[in-house]
């Protein structure tokens, strides 16, 4: 992210995700995280990426460092009008490449069962299911890992 405007755009996207999932128990932690952006996602060990169409931010994803050479994929979101068009894949491939450059050896993430398209994307990129690796506010979170 290169500017305060980019951080604001990422914040708006994450808050849109929260609004879409408002009925999910535990979703409010994501709202708090959006308010704190860029928070734990700052360089040199983390990052936030935006996908844009013209001047419009249409997707985002963040990289958060964890201990032991592991990083976590966070705040993956694509505007509903742009889903199914490769935006999420492009964001995630960018994040994976950067994680490798930064020397991380594993990427982890959590998602919920109802996000079938996201889970299919993660599987297609080589993420495999793992045991719960952190406490999570959402009871039905599924966890995945990619060896880099």
For 127-139, how does the pLDDT look when each residue is reduced to its tens digit (9 = 90+)?
Answer: 999 998 887 666 6
Percent of the chain with pLDDT over 70: 96
- Cβ proximity of 147 and 100 under 8 Å: no
Report the CATH number that the domain containing residue 61 is assigned in CATH. Answer: 3.40.630.30
- Cβ proximity of 18 and 27 under 8 Å: yes
- Cβ proximity of 64 and 41 under 8 Å: yes
Confidence of residue 94 (pLDDT cuts 50, 70, 90): very high
Compute the Cα dihedral for 53, 96, 40, 15 and give only its sign.
Answer: positive
Region 52-56: mean pLDDT is 95
Please determine, for residue 20, whether its predicted confidence score (pLDDT) is greater than 90.
Answer: no
Confidence of residue 143 (pLDDT cuts 50, 70, 90): very high
Question: Which residue range is the domain that position 69 belongs to?
Answer: 4-147
pLDDT of residue 34: 87
Q: How many domains does the chain have?
A: 1
Q: Quick count: other Cβ atoms within 10 Å of Cβ 35? A: 11
pLDDT of residue 1: 57
Confidence of residue 52 (pLDDT cuts 50, 70, 90): very high
Please determine, for residue 4, whether its predicted confidence score (pLDDT) is greater than 90.
Answer: no
């Amino acid at each position: 992210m290169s500017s305060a405007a980019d951080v604001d755009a990422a914040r708006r996207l994450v808050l849109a995700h929260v609004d879409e999932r408002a009925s999910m128990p535990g979703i409010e932690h994501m709202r708090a995280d959006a308010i704190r952006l860029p928070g734990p996602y700052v360089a040199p060990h983390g990052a936030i990426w935006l996908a844009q169409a013209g001047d419009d931010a249409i997707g985002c994803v963040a990289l958060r460092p964890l201990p032991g050479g592991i990083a976590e994929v966070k705040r993956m979101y694509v505007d509903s009008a742009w889903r199914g068009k490769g935006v999420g894949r492009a964001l995630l491939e960018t994040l994976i490449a950067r994680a490798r450059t930064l020397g991380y050896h594993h990427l982890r993430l959590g998602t919920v069962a109802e996000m079938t398209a996201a889970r299919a994307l993660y599987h297609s990129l080589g993420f495999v299911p793992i045991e719960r690796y952190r406490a999570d506010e959402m009871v039905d979170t599924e966890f995945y890992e990619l060896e880099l």
